[in-house]
Amino acid sequence: MDSLTLSVQDRWIDTPRGRLLARIWQPAGADPALAPVLLFHDSLGCVELWRSFPEALALSSGRRVVAYDRPGFGQSAPRTDRLDSGFVGEEAEHVLPLLRQQLKIDRFVAFGHSVGGGMAVHCAARAPDACEALVTESAQAFVEDRTRAGIMQARELFRQPGQFERLQRYHGDKARWVLSAWIDTWLSPEFAGWSLAPVLGQVRCPALVLHGSEDEYGSQQHPLAIARGVAGPVELQIMPAVRHVPHREQEAVVAARVTAFLATLTAAPGPSRS
């Protein structure tokens, strides 16, 4: 599919929390019957911070790719409230239906990075008849000491000159809320018991679980928990010498791996753990 050209379009999604920015990468000549890939960003992420990966995935897979800024992030409407312990599952309940309705998406593939991976899990569980496949990348399945330690290190990093300003480039005046929504939420006692365990068994579509061997925000217990917990066929891949952002560290490898996985969706299902 590398010879395909690509069009990029921005759309605004109306929600009770204000408008959300969605960006669509559409390969020319792609099969319209193929379900688009919905990207769910990480705790500090936004459409722009996916960088060139959506384009690479669209061209590799021949599928439409859709990313969006969650409320409070990027170019979407700001937020001032504090995230509660149920915020990961709320994306599937409140935002996914609006995205699907306003972008006219019937079936979809849910792809989530980091906390976005947990959101993708919830989307697959909540819309089992519409979610064709699930891809998690560096997703947390529970609150681990390693995760908390990585966040505390990041908190110190953002106190250094210039670091917070880098975040402002992508979130503008919302950057302080974005940083607090990540650090304060994940380190709060109320969030300590959070886990994907209650919903993993409701995921019946094929799943691809990707994780870097050197992920600073989560050990390999996270991908193992996801792979063991989902009810459908699953492929698990630990990427050697890769940290928390595989799609940035090895963009072509991740795009090709996801494309190969999506190409098997019409094949006879069967569990595979490698």
Domains by residue range for the chain, with CATH? 6-263 (3.40.50.1820)
pTM: 0.95
pLDDT at position 266 is 60
Three-class SS of residue 122? helix
Position 255: which residue type?
A
Cα angle for residues 8, 10, 14 (degrees, 5° grid): 150
Q: How far apart are CA 211 and CA 213, in angstroms?
A: 6
**Taking 50 as the threshold, does the pLDDT of residue 35 lie above it?**
yes
pLDDT at position 30 is 84
Strands 131-137 and 207-212: parallel
pLDDT tens-place string over residues 217-245: 999 999 999 999 999 999 999 999 999 99
- The tokens of 196 are what? 């994907």
Q: How far apart are CA 154 and CA 186, in angstroms?
A: 12
What is each CA distance from 172 to 28, 167, 237, in whole angstroms?
33, 8, 36
Among 42-46, 131-135, 152-156, 269-273, the minimum mean pLDDT is found in: 269-273
Average pLDDT, the chain: 94
pLDDT at position 105 is 97
User: Where residue 268 falls among pLDDT bands split at 50, 70, 90?
Assistant: very low
pLDDT at position 272 is 41
pLDDT at position 13 is 98
In this prediction, residues 39-50 reach a mean pLDDT of 98
pLDDT at position 29 is 86
**Taking 70 as the threshold, does the pLDDT of residue 267 lie above it?**
no
pLDDT at position 207 is 98
pLDDT tens-place string over residues 67-102: 999 999 999 999 999 999 999 999 999 999 999 999
pLDDT tens-place string over residues 122-179: 999 999 999 999 999 999 999 999 999 999 999 999 999 999 999 999 999 999 999 9
**Taking 70 as the threshold, does the pLDDT of residue 1 lie above it?**
no
What is each CA distance from 271 to 197, 211, 227, 233, 274, in whole angstroms?
19, 18, 10, 4, 10
